[in-house]
């Protein structure tokens, strides 16, 4: 998940020259829950060389500003094409899984037609049972 949010942060750097860490935290929620967590995450990316930026504390003593560099390194942060290729691979795997489940359901006779057949038979049995109990009550009523 860190790579996804690192990529998201990199994209913010393409749109903004600087952001407060609180704004970064809001942009990366729910992964980042507080400004302190965001500052730690950003600092780790800067120290590892994945993000070419600087952090500076503002004079109010509470806020931290993230300044993006114009030449941010792009090698370690996944590119859009790489992310798209991974998504396409995931879609293919899900399609294979879906097809396998359909085949298993059919092999186990859990197809829609079979389930509809079971429902019809259950309704018939309930209807017949209801008629049988009514005729039993009529017979018992005649005896008294």
pLDDT tens, 46-56? 888 777 888 88
Fold of 2-68: Arc Repressor Mutant, subunit A (1.10.10)
The Cα 105–Cα 103 span in angstroms is 5
Residue 2's pLDDT is 63
pLDDT tens profile 77-108:
556 677 788 888 888 999 988 888 877 766 66
C-alpha radius of gyration, the chain, whole number:
32
pLDDT higher than threshold 50 for residue 72: no
φ, ψ dihedrals at 95, nearest 5°: -65, -40
pLDDT at residue 30 tops 70: yes
pTM over 0.85: no
Q: What is the mean pLDDT of the chain?
A: 75
Where along the chain do its domains lie?
Answer: 2-68, 80-143
| CA–CA dist 29, 52 (Å, integer) | 22
Q: Which region among 2-11, 42-51, 65-74, 117-126 has the lowest average model confidence (pLDDT)?
A: 65-74
H-state helical runs in the chain: 2-15, 21-27, 35-48, 80-107, 112-143
Cβ partners under 8 Å of residue 112, min gap 6 = none
């Amino acid at each position: 998940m860190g790579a996804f949010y690192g990529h998201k942060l990199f994209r913010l750097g393409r749109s903004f020259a600087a952001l407060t860490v609180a704004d970064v935290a809001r942009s990366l929620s729910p992964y980042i829950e507080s400004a302190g967590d965001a500052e730690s995450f950003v600092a780790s990316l800067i120290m590892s060389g994945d993000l070419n930026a600087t952090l500076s504390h503002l004079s109010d003593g509470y806020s931290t500003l993230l300044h993006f560099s114009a030449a941010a390194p792009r090698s370690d942060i996944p590119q859009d094409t790489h992310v798209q290729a991974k998504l396409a691979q995931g879609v293919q795997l899900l399609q294979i899984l879906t097809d396998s489940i359909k085949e298993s359901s059919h092999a186990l006779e859990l197809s829609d037609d079979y389930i509809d057949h079971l429902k019809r038979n259950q309704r018939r049995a309930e209807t017949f049972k209801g008629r049988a109990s009514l005729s039993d009550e009529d017979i018992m009523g005649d005896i008294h």
